Amino acid sequence: MKGIWRYFQQCSYLPLWLAGLTLIGSFYHYSTKDTNELAEQQWLSVSMTCYRQKHPSKICQPITNVMFLKTHKTASSTILNILYRFSEKHSLTVALPYGNEPHLGYPRHFHASYVEEFKTLGNKFNIMANHLRFNWQQVRRIMPDNTFYFSILRDPTLLLESSYVYFKTFSPAFRNSKDINEFLSSPWSYYNLAEKNNIYAKNNMWFDFGYDNNAEYDERYIHFVLQNIQEIFHLILIADFFDESMILLKDILCWDLDDVIYFKLNARSQYSIQALNPENKEKVKEWCALDWELYKYFNNSFWIKIQERMDLKTLYKEVDLLQKRQKELMETCLLEETAIEHYQIKDENMKPFQAGHASIMGYNLRQDLDNKTLNICKKMIMPELQYTAHLYNSQFPFKKKKTTGK
């Protein structure tokens, strides 16, 4: 396997003086507030890049310090489950939300104080993966210097439809339209910049990465942000190619195949999916133009990274192994061997949280499983809120947290 730090050695082609010129240009073009925020992240990015160049790894060893930016409606709950299981397998410490919160301060920019026991543990955490609005300066207070940063993106057309159904009753922009097509026919009729919770209705991925989802479309600004994200994040996965993403993630992190085996979580039933007409599919690219540029850029970089590490024959051979192993586990674990409607789930503690007009599916386990297999299978299907509570009680037994969904 090629060196896992090959992507970290970026100082050689991004000298500090070049970053300085970029920052000077930003002062000329952007407001003081935007410039200070972007400049700070850019300088932090360059310093971290140089650190990795000076401390390369020569032997492939599993990376255990991982920060995952959990974007909304991008299959990120499934990845969270993968990371939670990995943390238990290796007895790692997870940066969990303070108190009874389900996320790390979202939609506010992340602050270290949002992490339980931050004052006690400092930057001794191994895994960070709950929802947050990215703020690298504060994340660095939690995670070690050699942390691997990654995230996941999804086609904005599919993402907006999913957000519409899931956040239908939560987002004012969605609430007053009958369906996604009506909303897209005249989005400014429903979207108010001043209303809270409308972040899910326009450029939500851009917002999750810490930027202004209502920023005007400007090529220089977009280029600056894309380069900044690329400097901080070592890998951006693509939800539309989820199995391929898992193989690439496994390869870069030097994990085992079983570490990235998954059962799809937080998925909607088919009857709650709304079909966009062709005209509105194109409108999404304009309405969520920042997300569209983000997705195009990192979809391209995703396939470049794959080509740098393996040929397509090798990739799809591993994808086939992943899918076969997944099928074996589903046959072993599941009563119905597939996801079912939430009202069909027998164990109340395994029911996923329901939101908006979405019908979130789950699983029933077989009743004849031995204790070891039962434990493995239970963790595979455990919904996000319940698993977070389980880890919270394991890491902080002196505190109490609910163990069932909302």
Q: Cβ(75)–Cβ(262) under 8 Å?
A: no
Residue 272 pLDDT level (bands cut at 50, 70, 90): confident
Give the amino acid at 228. Answer: N
250 Cβ partners below 8 Å, 6+ apart? 256, 257, 259, 260, 318
Residue 14 pLDDT level (bands cut at 50, 70, 90): very low
Q: Cβ(244)–Cβ(315) under 8 Å?
A: yes
pLDDT above 90 as % of the chain: 76
pLDDT at 187: 97
Query: Which two three-digit tokens encode residue 27?
Result: 């002062």
Question: Following DSSP, what letter does each residue of 63-117 receive, concatenated?
Answer: ---EEEE--TTSSHHHHHHHHHHHHHHTTPPB-PBSTT-SSSSTTSBP-GGGBTT
Q: What are phi and psi of 334, to 5 degrees?
A: -95, 140
Q: What are phi and psi of 401, to 5 degrees?
A: -150, 145
User: Angle, to 10 degrees, between the axis of helix 289-309 and the axis of helix 156-166?
Assistant: 120
Q: State the Cα angle at 168 between 158 and 110, rounded to 5°.
A: 80
Residue 344 pLDDT level (bands cut at 50, 70, 90): very high
- 196-212: average pLDDT: 96
> DSSP E strands: which ranges in 141-279?
148-153, 235-238
Which residue's structure tokens are 């085992």? 256
Angstrom distance (rounded) from CA 136 to CA 148: 13
Q: Cβ(269)–Cβ(341) under 8 Å?
A: yes
94 Cβ partners below 8 Å, 6+ apart? 83, 84, 87, 125, 126, 127, 128, 129, 391, 395
pLDDT per position as a tens digit, 59-101: 689 999 999 999 999 999 999 999 999 999 999 999 999 997 8
Does residue 1 register a pLDDT over 70? no
pLDDT, mean over the chain:
87
- HSE toward the beta carbon, residue 199, CA cutoff 13 A: 19
pLDDT at 47: 40
292 Cβ partners below 8 Å, 6+ apart? 156, 284, 285
* Burial class of residue 196 in the structure, from the number of CB atoms within 10 Å of its CB (0-12 exposed, 13-18 middle, 19+ buried): exposed
210 Cβ partners below 8 Å, 6+ apart? 41, 109, 133, 134, 135, 136
Query: Could you tell me the pTM of the whole model?
Result: 0.84
